[in-house]
Amino acid sequence: MDIKELGEFGLISRLTKDIKPQHSSTLKGIGDDAAVLDFGQEQTLVTTDILLEGVHFNLEYVPLKHLGYKAAVVNFSDIYAMNGRPTQIVVALGISKRFTVEQMEELFSGIRLACEVYGVDLVGGDTTASYTGLTISITCLGVAKKEDIVYRNGAKVNDLICCTGNLGAAYLGLQLLERERLVAEVSPEEAQKAFEGKEYLLERQLKPEARKDVIEALRKAGIKPTSMMDISDGLSSELLHICKESKVGCCVYSGKIPVDYEAVAMAEELNFDIVTCALNGGEDYELLFTIDQKDYEKIIPVEDVNIIGYIQKPELGSVLMGRNGEEIALKAQGFDAFPEGK
């Protein structure tokens, strides 16, 4: 169905029908000039992310439902990275006329699924026509007790550097999708075959998850990180942010950086260095955090957390320690929001 048949208000009511707030903090969701929220004694966290067609996603191979899911989850990830809990989102969409109502329902079904999985309320938004492409701008609110919030600037010398899950797979999934996009134009079956055994890489790129589980496990283990970020631009870039904000240096062991076996195989196939992919790939949405050495015993039983290095004095710099003990200065080569040729 053509969107203009429904009009703005018709589309909004179609996309948001049956949305019922789950959070006690959501007093009034969609349907007024602003949503009304009550955070009581907790502090409010707010973060925003904008995704543009052709820059952040390619609809030739990204299903709209996955896109909606990812657009919401990357925002939740930012709230978890403050050691908070996401509670509400508002969604602003710019939609070109090539999209149908059904496609926007697909997109919204992904956003709504993410909200359901993570227990977040969709409380408002703005929807408008665009001349070209699809724009998705989501702002997420969250809450945390004042004493629980973890900033980027709290890392201290001798803290342990931890990262969750594994890195580089989302980037390698993207490379695979980009390569097979060209193949698929000629032979969709062949492209499909090329994906076999690489499902994990595709999932990491197309449907990332935020590490709510780790945040909960850390709380249960009685650990409050000294600093934390989510890894959206790449491990190197995020580590340097933490070091800069905390005015410290770091040493990371390249052999300790966690990678998945599918990622290793894919990197080999593409003739990429897997450590470089893990350091600079981005979009893994894992958590990077530092903990006090005294919490070492406590972190061991926490699932899916890897200790990859330690914080050192700023004058020692931020370095990657190779397998043979060689030191290489860390450089930020993460996602470039303003690449050449755009």
Residue among 3 and 305 whose Cβ is closer to a copy of itself: 3
**Residues numbered 240-299 forming contacts with a copy of itself, rule: CB under 8 A:** 245
User: Running DSSP on this structure, what letter comes out for residue 57?
Assistant: B
Residue 147 sits in the site that holds a copy of itself (CB under 8 A) = no
- CA 226, CA 165: separation in Å to the nearest integer? 19
- CA 198, CA 294: separation in Å to the nearest integer? 39
| Residue found under tokens 């966690």 | 258
Contacting residue, 15, 30, 35, 215, with a copy of itself by CB under 8 A: 35
Residue 306 sits in the site that holds a copy of itself (CB under 8 A) = no
Residue 155 near residue 242, CB atoms below 8 Å? yes
Distance in Å, CB of 114 to a copy of itself, minimum: 17
Distance (Å) of CA 242 to CA 91, 98, 157, 308: 29, 42, 12, 15
Residue 329 sits in the site that holds a copy of itself (CB under 8 A) = no
Residue 13 sits in the site that holds a copy of itself (CB under 8 A) = no
Q: Which of 233, 241, 240, 234 is nearest to 257 (CA)?
A: 234
- CA 219, CA 221: separation in Å to the nearest integer? 5
Residue 183 sits in the site that holds a copy of itself (CB under 8 A) = no
| Residue found under tokens 């939609």 | 95
SS3 51: strand
Interface mask toward a copy of itself for 188-227; x: CB under 8 A: ----------------------------------------
- The CA-based angle 20-46-41, given to 5 degrees, is 75
Residue 73 near residue 209, CB atoms below 8 Å? yes
Residue among 230 and 260 whose Cβ is closer to a copy of itself: 230
Number of residues that bind a copy of itself (CB under 8 A): 76
Binding span for a copy of itself by CB under 8 A among 147-155, 156-164, 178-186, 251-259: 147-155
Binding span for a copy of itself by CB under 8 A among 58-66, 119-127, 213-221, 316-324: 119-127
Contacting residue, 20, 146, 294, 323, with a copy of itself by CB under 8 A: 146
Binding span for a copy of itself by CB under 8 A among 125-133, 169-177, 191-199, 269-277: 125-133
Q: Which residues contact 339 (CB under 8 A, 6 or more apart)?
A: none
Contacting residue, 110, 125, 234, 249, with a copy of itself by CB under 8 A: 125
**Residues numbered 80-99 forming contacts with a copy of itself, rule: CB under 8 A:** 81-82, 84, 88, 90-97
Contacting residue, 36, 270, 300, 328, with a copy of itself by CB under 8 A: 36
Residue 270 near residue 172, CB atoms below 8 Å? yes
Q: Name the strand (E) or helix (H) holding 191.
A: helix 188-194
Contacting residue, 30, 45, 201, 202, with a copy of itself by CB under 8 A: 45
Binding span for a copy of itself by CB under 8 A among 77-85, 108-116, 157-165, 248-256: 77-85
Q: Report the relative pairing of strands 160-164 and 305-312 from DSSP bridges.
A: antiparallel
Binding span for a copy of itself by CB under 8 A among 63-71, 78-86, 167-175, 298-306: 78-86
Residue 31 sits in the site that holds a copy of itself (CB under 8 A) = yes
- CA 77, CA 208: separation in Å to the nearest integer? 10
